[in-house]
Amino acid sequence: MKTSEIAQRYLDYFEKNDHQIVPSASLVSDDPSLLFTVAGMVPMIPYLTGVVPAPYPRIADVQKCIRTNDIEEVGRTARHGTFFQMLGNWSFGDYFKEGAIRYAWELLTTSEADGGLGFDEKDLWVTVYETDDEAEAIWRDIIGLKPERIQRLGRADNYWNTGQPGPGGPDSEIFFDRGPAYGKDGGPAVDDSRFLEIWNLVFMQDFIENIRGKTEFDIVGELPMKNIDTGMGLERVAFLKQGVENMYETDQVRPVLDRAVELSGRRYGAVHEDDVRFRVVADHVRSSLMLLSDGVRPTNEGRGYILRRLMRRTVRAMRLLGVDAPTFPELFAASRDAMKASYPVLETDWSTLSSAAFAEEETFRRTLAQGSTILDLALDETKKSGGSTLSGSEAFLLHDTYGFPIDLTLEVAEEAGLSVDRSAFDSLMQEQRSRAKADARNRKRQLADVSVYRDFRALGETTFAGYTDLQTESRILGIIVDGQTVQSANEGDVAEVILPETTLYAESGGQVADKGTIVGAGFELDVLDVQRPVPGLISHTVHVASGTVALDDAATTVVDAANRRAARQAHSATHLVHAALRDTLGKDATQSGSLNRAGYMRFDFAWSQPLSTETRSEIEDITNRAVQEALEVTTRIVSLDEAKEAGAMALFGEKYGDVVRMVDIGGPWSRELCAGTHVSSSSEIGLVSVVGESSVGASNRRIEALVGQDAFRELAAERTVVSQLSAALKAPRDQLASRIDELQANLKSAEKRIAQFEAKEREGRVPALVESAETVGAYRVVATSLGEVGSADDVRTLALSVRERLGSAPAVAALGGVAAGRPIVVIATNDAARAEGAKAGALVRLAAGVLGGGGGGKDDVAQGGGTDASALPAALSAIVTELRGA
The annotated binding site is made up of 571, 575, 674, 678
Strand partners, 418: none
- Name, in order, each residue with C-beta under 8 angstroms of 709's C-beta and a sequence gap of 6 or more: 566, 599, 686
Q: Are 717 and 742 in contact (CB under 8 A)?
A: no
User: Could you give the 3-state DSSP secondary structure of residue 275?
Assistant: helix
Report the binding-site residues for Zn(2+): 571, 575, 674, 678
Q: Are 42 and 31 in contact (CB under 8 A)?
A: yes
Number of CB atoms found within 10 A of residue 449's CB: 12
User: Could you give the 3-state DSSP secondary structure of residue 168?
Assistant: strand
Q: How many residues does the chain have?
A: 886
The four Cα atoms 430, 431, 436, 439 give a dihedral, to 10 degrees, of: 160
For 154-246, list the strands marked E by DSSP: 159-161, 166-177, 195-209, 218-233
- Name, in order, each residue with C-beta under 8 angstroms of 67's C-beta and a sequence gap of 6 or more: 36, 38, 82, 84
- Name, in order, each residue with C-beta under 8 angstroms of 408's C-beta and a sequence gap of 6 or more: 312, 313, 316
Estimate the crossing angle of helix 302-320 against helix 350-384, to 10 degrees.
70
How far apart are the C-alpha atoms of 188 and 209, rounded to whole Å? 29
Distances (CA, A) of 810 to 129, 325, 386, 777, 859: 76, 81, 53, 10, 14
- Name, in order, each residue with C-beta under 8 angstroms of 827's C-beta and a sequence gap of 6 or more: 799, 812, 813, 814, 815, 840, 843, 844, 847, 857, 861, 862, 863, 879
Q: Are 770 and 805 in contact (CB under 8 A)?
A: yes
Mode of pairing for the β-strands spanning 20-21 and 58-66: parallel
- Name, in order, each residue with C-beta under 8 angstroms of 328's C-beta and a sequence gap of 6 or more: 285, 311, 314, 315, 354, 357, 358, 360, 361
- Name, in order, each residue with C-beta under 8 angstroms of 118's C-beta and a sequence gap of 6 or more: 109, 110, 111, 112, 241
Element housing 847 (H / E): helix 840-851
Greatest C-alpha distance within the chain = 108
